[in-house]
């Protein structure tokens, strides 16, 4: 089991009709690390929405033939998905499109609503019919309901924010406007930039702005609503500073790309800092420091720098395998870790190794990596984790919905070390997390159990897809 984040969003507003689908395509490529189950693009061609979305990677779904079908337009939104609510079904791919009497709406969502089940039940009791099992459709319905009674889409979105709880960074478009929204806690990142021709770009991470040649302007404030239209950019900050800021700290530890800047902090620098902290908190006598590709590499560099132990490339990742790799057979005769990772024997043979990774979830993958290094001749393996132990479920967009799946909830550090076969094990101290981002305004609920919002009763990924025999009262 690996940690997954829900998705990445991307939006374009061009002052004149242009090949906006191509911009979204390149933006989604830059955000592919945030979601690899499915992807989608919707282009606004003078009020007519043209969409394509399906399961698969960006390059698989958007072939040259598919891209050629997109018209020019001023507006477009895109999405890459890893679902935390709703299964791996083409119907759950985004953007979600809604047609109603006051116009059209295409919506892309990064995050997870903690009150999705409650909202959906209320909507269904009042006559709403849902076509997906994603909480994104719930958001679209809430906005649409509000839009019927107010004069503008911005006001409808603002009213909807009063009803939504949890994590949501949204990019959406109406017939004439591009709108970007970040929840008042600011759980998930969202930023915008501008190209030389005046085109505005909204993206989950700044690396996607760079991919299309846009100049980074700034991040959206937690609770901010931005509207992009023919008159420029308009900000609604009425929801700002209404709740404590709680950016997910795991964005810097694992989710985001190293070249992105989030909350004013370069992700690469935050990971280097994590490695430095680990070296001081959990020193080891060793000959080499190596990282587990990809997010463990920066922390390994930091550990090596602080400890004085040489840094080396001890593991090579098969670059043609993404996070969604699935074995063709069901008997798993071949260890999938061996397909993804290969040790460099000349680097680790006969050496005491410090192995840096970003997390341990169940421990299965960690144990297999350790076996690979042992087989390659490593004499000692001291594992260091650039995050505290995962002890609690996450309700804000990370695929951890139960403590029973978390090895650290069931076992001590010493027991985990024995189970995965390492000579010693050390985690990043919980109290040191703030040093990664230079503030205490972050969410660490999956480590600490302190949640910024009310804890929902049911947050299983399949909460809207349960078999009849598993439903209460069935």
The residues that are catalytic are 7
Q: Strand 352-357: give its sheet, edge to edge.
A: 288-291, 352-357, 380-385, 424-427
CA R_g for the chain: 23
Three-state DSSP class for residue 256: coil
Three-state DSSP class for residue 324: coil
| Encoded tokens for 389 | 């132990």
Element at 455 (helix H, strand E) = none
Catalogue the long-range contacts made by 434-440 (C-beta closer than 8 Å, 24 or more residues apart). 435/273, 435/277, 436/249, 436/252, 436/253, 436/265, 436/270, 436/271, 436/273, 436/274, 436/277, 437/247, 437/249, 437/252, 437/263, 437/265, 437/270, 438/264, 438/265, 439/263
| Encoded tokens for 180 | 């970007």
Element at 140 (helix H, strand E) = helix 135-147
CA distances from 429 to 275, 279, 281, 358 (A): 12, 11, 8, 13
| Encoded tokens for 219 | 């991040």
Whole-angstrom Cα distance, residue 260 to residue 33?
12
| Encoded tokens for 454 | 């009310």
Q: What is the DSSP string of 89-113?
A: -GGG-S-EEEEETTEEEEEEEEEEE
Three-state DSSP class for residue 449: coil
């Amino acid at each position: 089991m690996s940690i997954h984040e829900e998705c990445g969003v991307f939006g374009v507003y061009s002052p004149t009709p242009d090949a906006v689908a191509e911009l979204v395509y390149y933006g989604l490529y830059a955000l592919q690390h945030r979601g690899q189950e499915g992807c989608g693009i919707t282009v606004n061609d003078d009020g007519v929405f043209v969409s394509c979305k399906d399961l698969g990677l960006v390059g698989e779904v958007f072939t040259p033939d598919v891209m050629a079908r997109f018209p020019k337009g001023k507006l477009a939104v895109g999405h890459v998905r890893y679902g935390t609510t709703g299964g791996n079904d083409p119907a759950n791919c985004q953007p979600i499109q809604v047609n109603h009497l006051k116009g059209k709406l295409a919506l892309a969502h990064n995050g997870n609503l903690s009150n999705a089940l409650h909202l959906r039940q209320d909507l269904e009791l009042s006559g709403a019919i849902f076509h997906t099992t994603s909480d994104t459709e719930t958001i679209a319905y809430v906005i649409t309901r509000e839009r019927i009674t107010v004069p503008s889409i911005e006001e409808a979105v603002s009213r909807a924010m009063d009803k939504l709880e949890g994590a949501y960074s949204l990019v959406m478009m109406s017939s004439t406007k591009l709108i970007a929204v970040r929840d008042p806690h600011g759980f998930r990142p969202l930023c915008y930039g501008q190209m030389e021709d005046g085109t505005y770009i909204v993206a989950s991470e700044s690396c996607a702005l760079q991919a299309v040649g846009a100049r980074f302007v700034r991040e959206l404030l937690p609770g901010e609503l931005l509207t992009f239209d023919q008159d420029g950019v308009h900000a609604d900050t009425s929801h700002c500073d209404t709740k404590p800021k709680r950016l997910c700290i795991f964005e810097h530890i694992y989710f985001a790309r190293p070249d992105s800047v989030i909350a004013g902090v370069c992700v690469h620098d935050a990971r280097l800092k994590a490695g430095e902290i680990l070296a001081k908190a959990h020193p080891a006598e060793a000959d080499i420091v190596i990282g587990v590709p990809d997010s463990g590499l920066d922390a390994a560099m930091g550990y090596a720098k602080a400890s004085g132990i040489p840094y080396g490339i001890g593991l090579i990742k098969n670059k043609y395998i993404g996070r969604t790799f699935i074995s063709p057979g069901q008997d798993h005769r071949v260890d999938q870790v061996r397909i993804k990772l290969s040790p460099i024997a000349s680097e680790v043979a006969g050496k005491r190794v410090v192995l840096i990774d970003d997390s341990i979830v169940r421990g299965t993958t960690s144990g297999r990596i350790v076996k690979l290094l042992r087989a390659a001749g490593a004499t000692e393996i001291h594992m260091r984790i650039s995050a505290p132990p995962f002890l609690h479920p996450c309700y804000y967009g990370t695929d951890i919905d139960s403590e029973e799946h978390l090895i650290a909830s069931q076992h001590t550090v010493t027991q985990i070390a024995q189970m995965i076969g390492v000579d010693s094990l050390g985690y990043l101290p919980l109290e040191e997390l703030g040093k990664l981002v230079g503030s205490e305004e972050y969410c660490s609920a999956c480590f600490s159990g302190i949640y910024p919002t009310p804890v929902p009763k049911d947050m299983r990924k399949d909460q809207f897809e349960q078999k009849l025999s598993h439903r209460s009262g069935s």
